[in-house]
Amino acid sequence: MMMYPDARTLLHGIIGHPVGHSLSPVFQNAAFSALGMNAVYLAFDVSPADLGDALRGVCALGIRGLSVTIPHKEAVIPFLDEVDGDAQSIGAVNTVLNRDGRLIGMNTDWQGAVQALESATSLAGKKVLVIGAGGAARAVCYGVTRKGAILHVANRTPEKARALAEAFGGTWSGLESLDRLNASILVNTTSVGMAPDVDCSPVPASVLEGVEVAMDIVYRPRETRLLREARAAGCRTVDGLAMLLHQGAAQFEIWTGRMAPVDIMEEALAKAISEKESA
């Protein structure tokens, strides 16, 4: 029986600020353990002022892979040796691979969103209504348009919806009159509905009529008010854990070159979130 960690343990982690709430260590470590790999994944709270030092530390300490979360997804770019095409198009990095001392920036958030949606429906030719125009919305818009969907972005601040829609060839609006759009897929990328404000929804329930699939990228609570109302309106629903899971599984595969044990990761994630919800 091998005893890990030891002097050969491969290091991975997440940098963010704050980062104490992150569920990524739970499911990444569950994956390493399920495959019997001598590897760990830790959480590092890195303030914006320390970001450059932290990235130099990644090279100096030989950390193999990093997840990057709020507020560093854009700020990390100047500290990397290379940024791949997906991350350049999205303008944000959520994954760093240390390839022989060169730091490569990538983005798996779009893959997480697309895989989560594709577990419920196809995207090509479908009208997708993306609510929100922040960082996560950019990854969702990139992903769905890459898969051939027709995009409409609606945001509280319409100018931001316009900039995002123009970047990805979609139409845009504020949050009013969305029920006339006849979208078949709706994705909430705003933080509206997130605990503790669980009674809020980004759009009135009338917008959900006729929608085939509704996804919320908020994952605390797992069933948001939007998803509850979507279920009542007869939509298929996809929760935010699915995106979190699939973006993390894609990261695991980038760092290790091995197929991610998605079922094990999902089980660990679902257990961690239900423990947090009942705490």
Residues of the shown chain interacting with ligand NAP in the complex, contacts defined by CB under 6 A? 70, 109, 112, 132-137, 155-157, 160, 189-192, 194, 202, 217-219, 240, 243-244, 247
For the bound state, the minimum distance from the C-beta of residue 183 to ligand NAP, rounded and expressed in Å, comes to: 17
Residue nearest to ligand NAP (CB): 134
For the bound state, the minimum distance from the C-beta of residue 164 to ligand NAP, rounded and expressed in Å, comes to: 9
Show contacts of 233-240: CB within 8 Å, 24+ apart.
Answer: 233/205, 233/208, 233/209, 235/186, 235/208, 235/211, 236/120, 236/121, 236/212, 237/120, 237/213, 238/116, 238/117, 238/119, 238/120, 238/213, 238/214, 239/215, 240/215, 240/216
Contact present, 22 and 56 (Cβ < 8 Å): no
73 part of the active site: yes
Beta strands in the chain (DSSP E): 10-16, 39-45, 65-68, 82-83, 95-99, 102-106, 127-131, 150-154, 171-173, 185-188, 213-216, 236-238
For the bound state, the minimum distance from the C-beta of residue 186 to ligand NAP, rounded and expressed in Å, comes to: 14
Q: Which amino acid is at 220?
A: R
DSSP state of 151: E
For the bound state, the minimum distance from the C-beta of residue 29 to ligand NAP, rounded and expressed in Å, comes to: 18
For the bound state, the minimum distance from the C-beta of residue 8 to ligand NAP, rounded and expressed in Å, comes to: 31
CB-nearer residue toward ligand NAP: 80 or 192: 192
Angstrom distance (rounded) from CA 178 to CA 253: 38
Residue of 73, 126, 127, 147 marked catalytic: 73
Tell how far CA 108 is from the center of its chain.
Answer: 7
CB-nearer residue toward ligand NAP: 37 or 254: 254
Contact present, 131 and 154 (Cβ < 8 Å): yes
CB-nearer residue toward ligand NAP: 186 or 243: 243
CB-nearer residue toward ligand NAP: 137 or 249: 137
CB-nearer residue toward ligand NAP: 109 or 123: 109
Contact present, 239 and 222 (Cβ < 8 Å): yes
Show which residues are catalytic.
Answer: 73
